[in-house]
Each structure stands twice: as structure tokens, then as C-alpha cells.
Amino acid sequence: MPLEVHVGFDDTDSPLGGCTTYIGARLVEILAEKGFAFLDYPNLVRLNPNIPWKTRGNGAVCLRLSVGGEGDYEELKETVLAFIRSHYEKAWKDTEPAVAFLRGSVPPMLRSLSQKALRRVVEPREALRVLRACGGEALELEGRQGVVGAAAAVGETLEGDHTYEAVAYRLPERRGEPRAVSFDSVVEMDRATRPWTFNNLDPETGRVLVTPRGPDPVLLGVRGETPEAVKKALSMVETGEKPERWAVFRTNQGTDAHLGETVKIRDIPPYSAVVVEGFVAQPPQTAPGGHVIFRLKDATGEIFCAAYEPTGNFRNTVRALRVGDRVKVYGGLRKAQPLGPRTVNLEKLEVLETAPVVEFRSPLCPRCGKRMTSMGAHKGFRCEKCKHRSSTLRRVPFPIPRSLSSGLYMPPPRAHRHLTKPLSRYGLEKAGKPGSPPRPEAFWGLGPPA
């Protein structure tokens, strides 16, 4: 009887190179050639982006397959472990790869662990305990940290909102060299595939966003709403080098999966993804480096919120806030430095209600209607036109129109995290798995996509 198997793995890369999705793409080829049937596209699961020890996008991969029985299961395990052992980044001392295996359907307890790993810090021992309680097992190849991502990737079955990413990978001899991607072809691809692809270009700077900048094997990746759309878009981009291979992943990128329920300020733990509602407690200030910072308060306390320099014109929105504005902030909290305050790194800002702003002006002359001028503190006012004087008149409140209105505001795409849902995706959310298991040739291939 066929056996459903989930294989999750994480932490195979390092700042020096490597890529967990590349490991996944290679394994897809190997397992497909061995005749294993895939139950889903390879899953790319992004986890809490505020973890300080992550590499790049904090992504783990899960392959979901059907095997013939225990003998095939053991062969699957041996194949996966042998490949990862020989291909993870061994040159980096902090790389701690791990592989998680689960037979059967994914239990609610493991799904809950994945949700926690999206928003909070999960310790390896907790991930291991939950995985084993669900009947799974984990193999730690070097240290334990990778267990968290491996188990969480298995538990995140992407049955809520999800997107797809088509990734092209470089030949080994080209890795580390500048990526030669045609700007004009990216512009044309973006024009032809919107809104079914997103975040291809930054509108403020014109910067191409489909290419990474590091030494990893990724040549480019296109994100979008359907596997067909991202594969077509990938084929439209002209490059100065032939890709080694390509793969399409189903993923939680661009879904805001890390942003859960609204929490109180006192309940925010370090290194967490948060949504907080409150009132602006202190006017925004521009700090050295161009960062814009304000204080937010609710009934339980206060916290700093920051729009950092890379968020571009989004900082002008933050500068327009005034004390008393009711807002909801979305972002990530890094643990405060010993002498520094806790600060939410803003990913988006929702203005719920603007506070009235008034300034006090000199009164109008009761005789001629011209605005009077002050004669000094507590000395009253005089009219320069008709010379009328008064010691009883007082300054009058004058409402100031606000440049800021209620609504959702976001930084430009170049400042988005992998999980941040762009404005173009609102209304395009989806749920559920693909209707039928995809054929392997639909989501991977050698060379460029056809």
C-alpha cells in the first residue's frame, strides 16, 4: 500500500554560499529518476525573518512523496541523507543541517509548531520533541539548529494562502561571478505577466529584484500566483549565462504568514514577528542615517517603531504621523541592545484614525477683521490696520489639514522581506493544495525552462 512521506531539511547553506532550495532541486531530480511519486510541488517554507542566526531568507524545504512501502521508505531516507551529507556547506562552522522524516498525514501538533516557528523563536529540543510525538524522526548531520526548520517545513502544508517561485540555478563555474541579467527583458516580463507575478522591479529606483546578490547558486527567481505564470516569466528573462537547472516551488512567500493576531506591547518577546495596535506617543524623529523613529503606546506600555533608511519614501509616511494617531504596526522585534530600547522594524503601517491637529493663532480684530498681532506675553493684541487694542482677546484654535489619511502604507518592494505580502497581492489570496499531484517534469528541468 502506498505510503505518504514528508521530507523536510534546513540549514544546508552559509553566508559563503550554498542554498537549501538548490539541494531541494537536485533531490527532485534524483528522486524522480528513481521513480518516486511527488504529492505536491517542492515546498519552500519561509520561517520567522527576525531570527538573528538565520542565513538570508530563513527558508526550509519539504518534499512530499508517495512510496511503495517500508523498503522504498528506507531507500528514500538513504538517498536523501547521502546527498545532503555530501553537499551541505561544510566550510562554515555554524552550518547545522538536519533532515526530518514523517510518514502519514501531518498532525495538528506539528502544524502548530510550524506556526510558532513563523513568528517566534523555537528551540531545537522543542521541535524534536514535537516531531517525535507525531511519529516523525530527525537526523542531525552537524549540530541541532537545523531541526527547527526541518520539522517546521514538514508541518507547514501550505493549505492557506500560498504563491509560487520559479528559480534558475547557475553552473558551478559561474558562481561568485556577477549575474548578467538583461534589465530590458525583466521590464518586459514584468509588463507582460502582472499581476500574476510580483516584486520583479522596484518602482522607486528601477532596481531589478529577481536576482540575488550573494555567492549562492541562484541565478534568478520569479515569484507569482501560479506555477504556469512563474515558469513562463522565468523563460522570458534573458541572461548572459545558461542555467544549470530550474525548479518551481510552492511557498508561503508574499503571504504575510508570519504576521498573526494583534498582541499587547508587554507581551512581545524578542526576535518575534508582531502586529501591534496603539497610539503615537511621541512625534517621529529622524535619526542619524536617515532612519525615522516614533514611540507607540497601548494600555500595557510603550515601544519604539522604526522605518529604516532602505524603506525609502515610506519614511515620509512615518514622518507625517502625529501624537494621538491610532495606528497598527506590522514588523519584527529584535532583542534590544544592553543600552538600547526595544524597537519594531516596520514592514507596513496601517493608519486607523488620524488625530486632529490645531495651531493657535492671533484673533481677528473685532473692528476691521484683520488678524491682530501680539504685544508680548500676557499683554494682549493690537491691530496694525485700525490700531485697535485688546487685553482680553485670546489666541484661537485653527485646524490644520492632515496630509496623512487612513489606509495601509508599505515600503517599496526592495525593502520587503520574503514573507511580506505586497499590495498587488491583496485580493489574489488562495487556499488549498493543487488539485492533483504534479508530474515532476512540470516543476523541474535541466538548462533553461522551455
Residues 127, 75: one domain?
Answer: yes
Cβ-Cβ contacts under 8 Å for 273 (sequence gap 6 or more): 48, 49, 50, 118, 119, 120, 258, 259, 260, 331, 332
Q: Which CATH number goes with the domain that contains 278?
A: 2.40.50.1010
Residues 345, 273: one domain?
Answer: yes
Please state whether beta strands 245-251 and 43-46 pair in parallel, antiparallel, or not at all (unpaired): parallel
Tell me, what's the pLDDT at 418? 96
Q: Is residue 51 part of a domain?
A: yes
Tell me, what's the pLDDT at 439? 87
Q: Is residue 147 part of a domain?
A: yes
Closest alpha carbon to 359 in 395, 393, 398, 402? 398
Which of 99, 134, 157 is at the close of a domain?
A: 157
Q: Is residue 245 part of a domain?
A: no
- DSSP for 264-299 reads -GGGPPTTEEEEEEEEEEEEEEEPTTS-EEEEEEET
Tell me, what's the pLDDT at 307? 96
Q: Are 151 and 130 in contact (CB under 8 A)?
A: yes
Q: Which residue carries 526595544 as its cell?
A: 342
Residues 52, 147: one domain?
Answer: yes
Q: Is residue 163 part of a domain?
A: no
Please state whether beta strands 301-307 and 98-103 pair in parallel, antiparallel, or not at all (unpaired): unpaired
Residues 149, 285: one domain?
Answer: no
Residues 36, 138: one domain?
Answer: yes
* Cα 240 → chain centroid: 29
Residues 312, 384: one domain?
Answer: no
CA distance 437 to 400: 59
Cell of 4: 505518504
Tell me, what's the pLDDT at 353? 97
Which of 115, 132, 157 is at the close of a domain?
A: 157
* Single-letter amino acid code for the residue at 293: I
Q: How many domains does the chain have?
A: 3
Residues 300, 278: one domain?
Answer: yes
Residues 141, 24: one domain?
Answer: yes
**Which domain range does residue 320 map to?**
265-356+401-416
Q: Is residue 222 part of a domain?
A: no
Q: Is residue 128 part of a domain?
A: yes
Residues 306, 405: one domain?
Answer: yes
Residues 148, 50: one domain?
Answer: yes
pLDDT in tens, 269-292: 989 999 999 999 999 999 989 999
Q: Is residue 210 part of a domain?
A: no
Nearest-5° Cα angle at 128, 124 to 134: 150
Q: Is residue 433 part of a domain?
A: no
Nearest-5° Cα angle at 373, 372 to 376: 140
pTM confidence score: 0.91
Please state whether beta strands 444-446 and 358-361 pair in parallel, antiparallel, or not at all (unpaired): unpaired
CA distance 450 to 446: 10
Residue 412, number of CB atoms within 10 A of its CB: 19
CA distance 149 to 176: 26
Residues 104, 70: one domain?
Answer: yes
* Single-letter amino acid code for the residue at 46: R
- Cis omega (within 30 of 0) on the bond before 434? no
Residues 18, 78: one domain?
Answer: yes
Burial class (CB in 10 A: 0-12, 13-18, 19+), 343: buried
Packed helices 108-119 and 146-155: angle between N→C axes, nearest 10 degrees:
120
Cell of 226: 501560479
Q: Which CATH number goes with the domain that contains 137?
A: 3.30.70.2200
Written as tens digits, the pLDDT of the chain (450 aa) is 789 999 999 988 877 778 999 999 999 999 999 999 999 999 999 999 999 887 778 999 999 999 998 899 999 999 999 999 998 887 677 788 999 999 999 999 999 999 999 999 999 999 999 999 999 999 988 778 899 999 999 999 999 999 999 999 999 999 889 999 999 999 999 999 999 999 999 999 999 999 998 888 999 999 999 999 999 999 999 999 999 999 999 999 999 999 999 999 999 998 999 999 999 999 999 998 999 999 999 999 999 999 999 999 999 999 999 999 999 999 999 766 555 688 999 999 999 999 998 889 999 999 999 999 999 888 999 999 999 999 989 999 988 899 899 999 999 999 999 999 999 999 999 988 877 788 888 899 999 987
Nearest-5° Cα angle at 108, 74 to 417: 90
pLDDT in tens, 205-254: 999 999 998 888 999 999 999 999 999 999 999 999 999 999 999 999 99
